[in-house]
Structure 1
Amino acid sequence: MSQHDSPPTTTAPTKERVAYLDNARYWVMLLVVIGHSLTQFTQMDSARGVYTWIYAFHMPFFVLISGYTARHYMGDARQTRRIVSTLVVPYLIVEISMQMIMRYYTDKPDPYMFLSPQWLAWFMAALFVWRLTTPIWRALKYPIATSIAISLLVGLIEVPNVLALPKILGFLPFYVVGLYMSRERFERLADPRIRIASALVLTGAFLYCYRYSSSWTLDWVLWKQRYDEEPLLASPLEGMLQRGELLLVGFVLTFAALSLIPRRRSWTTSLGERTFYCYLLHGYLILILRHQFEVFDRLQPYGAEAALVTIIVAVVVANLLMTKPFSVVFRPIFEPRLTWLFRSETRVTKPVGNDVEKG
């Protein structure tokens, strides 16, 4: 992919959702819920390998798709309203409520830091920042190289966690590459030879993680610490090399996964249209199960069986949260129209299209 390519643009509104993208959202959301559920078991080798494999590419996958669906962003009035109603408002609701929940369960008088996302809300903050900076990445001569340099260098300096800036800058290359993707490039990934190679790559990566992850420092895949900070404790060169390896692995596994995503509409397509609610709601369930009922602590003594049961339950719960009843109930909460807040439209502007943050 040449960095001199211009991001694809269209002049006609996108009226229909793309089945391929909704299928992709469905499968990556399963990985998100499974990964978050296994966080409690990463001390067990049986769960650690699965967790590491998921975290090697599930957010790069999600971020790249986010960049692709944001490629038409120009900052007009309609797009601005959508950012507020689908990113800013949900961010505030989730971050405030989760910090209140954690304060209640931990009984710690820590100050509220609503602009310093601690968990799920970081991705909405990231989408907000990436979306606003999209015109910059469209204008730069070498956007991909610039984003990679930023990702590698950000680990050398202290960056405050305001709106999750360390992670935003770390994952930036995946977003920028997504901006420069096109439908034709996605279609090329469907070549049978590429799909066979992709299946082998993903399988090999899984087996490698399962075999060797017990000795790895998992904080690398969280993309938020400085290189010289505990527990990374790496020199500048070691840190940049490790981050570069993570970027390479993230891109390879992301494109491998994208090549295996079904193109046709199926039962996963309709569920993939509603992953936004699954993403937000599953975090509350995990917090309640962990702190109110101590489910994960009770399961740990059972080892691999506990991890397997957790994966199965996570898949079932994720599918339930992507069903229509949950979108009907929670849409007014997480996606308010806010017509009272904005001026009425005086002219029709080009819509954003299918937003990945809703998938």
Structure 2
Amino acid sequence: MEIDINVEKHRNYYFDNLKFLLITLVVIGHTIEPLINLYPNVKLIYNFTYSFHMPLFVFISGYFSKDITNDKKSFSRINNILIPYIVFQLLYCIFNIYVLKAENFKTTLVYPYWITWYLLSLFIWNLIVPYFSKVRYCILIAIVISILCGFDDSIGYYLSLSRTITFFPYFLMGYFCEKSHIDVIKKYIRKKYAILGLSIVFMILYLLNVKIDYRWFYGSYSYSQLSSSIACPQYIIRLFTYILAIGMSIFVLALIPGRKLFFTKLGSRTMAVYVFHGFIIKLLIKYNFFDYINSLLSKILIVMLSLLIVILLSSKIINNIAKIIGNPKLIRHINA
């Protein structure tokens, strides 16, 4: 995610606020994930969050990829995504082998580990968008391709193909979105209507909570690998996830404030949070931290812990460490 503004005082606070919200939801989602099969209320929050937060995250990445048509910038951008993917993929592999002591864990670059899928998919999207975007009705075609690929069991974690295909329409939407489009959303969708819209969706998800297989929101499974208690074709369910994500994203875009807030600065360091928070979550799982989460208070504390993780990993020190470990140009490119 990049903002084409160079001076701090002229930063687009709107997108920094949006990025802070999204990365916070990412961390909360990963933090409560070990609990979703134990507590229906946690699953409800998880479903609500996952129904839009990654689609909107990908949308923002596409929004700030408009300079990809410039050959020089394109090569630099792609290179600055691939290198960090390789670095952090290998770091997570080493972490699993020597820290988590995972048995029979294989070091590989073609099967992204957990959260590193996003970097690999981002690399692929940046490779193909200059060509695919020239095709007429490319967004519609990308959605159709995604729906059809759901029938193919062979498309999965390899090179993050399933998620790359599933989330690509959101990247294209962001790529074609102009600031004027977001201005229209903020102008014509009043905050009270956006809140009402999100509340209605929340109630629908509440009523369907038991029937929903949360894995539908992952984008990494074929139809045959997913279950559904809802009486409709599975390709319709995937189409519904697109409609749901787009609608909720519009509501969220309408709600984001454009002024500088106390957390706005943290929104400029989202990539450091993304690449590092996985280490913390996996350590918590290894040492059975979630076995002690069995009350409402402890669940609230989990959310507070997620916020603490975001704040700590958004610090300038961690951001600089991310620059050193990965590629300085990537972090600057995304956080600029």
State the TM-score, normalizing by the size of structure 1: 0.84
Q: Does 1:97 align with 2:88?
A: no
Q: Does the residue aligned with 2:69 lie in a helix, a strand or coil?
A: coil
- CA drift of 1:53 comes to 0.4
Match of 1:23 in 2: 17
2:303 maps to which of 290, 301, 311: 311
Q: Does 1:130 align with 2:138?
A: no
Match of 1:186 in 2: 182
One-letter amino acid matched to 2:204: Y
Match of 2:45 in 1: 50
Distance 1:270 1:24 in 2: 11
Q: Does 1:268 align with 2:244?
A: no
Alignment of 1:5-20 (within 5 A): 14-16=5-7, 17-20=11-14
One-letter amino acid matched to 1:331: K
Distance 1:233 1:183 in 2: 38
Which of 323-332 and 246-255 deviates more? Answer: 323-332
Q: Does 1:220 align with 2:216?
A: yes
One-letter amino acid matched to 1:329: I
- CA drift of 1:95 comes to 1.6
Q: Does 1:33 align with 2:24?
A: no
- CA drift of 1:72 comes to 2.2
Distance 1:70 1:78 in 2: 10
Q: Is the 8 A contact 1:277 1:322 kept in 2?
A: yes
String of CA shifts for 1:320-359, please: whole Å, max 9, x gaps: 2112222123321122459xxxxxxxxxxxxxxx85x549
Give the structure with the higher percent helix: 2
Distance 2:71 2:266 in 1: 30
Match of 1:177 in 2: 173
Over the residues paired in the alignment, what is the CA RMSD in angstroms? 2.3
One-letter amino acid matched to 2:255: L
- Alignment gaps of 5+ in structure 1: 1-12, 339-353
Whose RCO is larger (CA < 8 A, sep 6+)? 1
One-letter amino acid matched to 2:252: A
What stretches of structure 1 move > 6 A for 4+ residues in a row?
none
Match of 1:295 in 2: 289
1:198 maps to which of 185, 191, 194: 194
One-letter amino acid matched to 1:182: E
Distance 1:38 1:113 in 2: 27
Q: Does 1:256 align with 2:247?
A: no
One-letter amino acid matched to 2:124: V
State the TM-score, normalizing by the size of structure 2: 0.89
- Alignment gaps of 5+ in structure 2: none
Q: Does 1:333 align with 2:329?
A: no
Q: Is the 8 A contact 1:160 1:166 kept in 2?
A: yes
- CA drift of 1:198 comes to 1.1
Between the aligned residues of both structures, percent identity stands at 24
1:70 maps to which of 62, 65, 68: 65
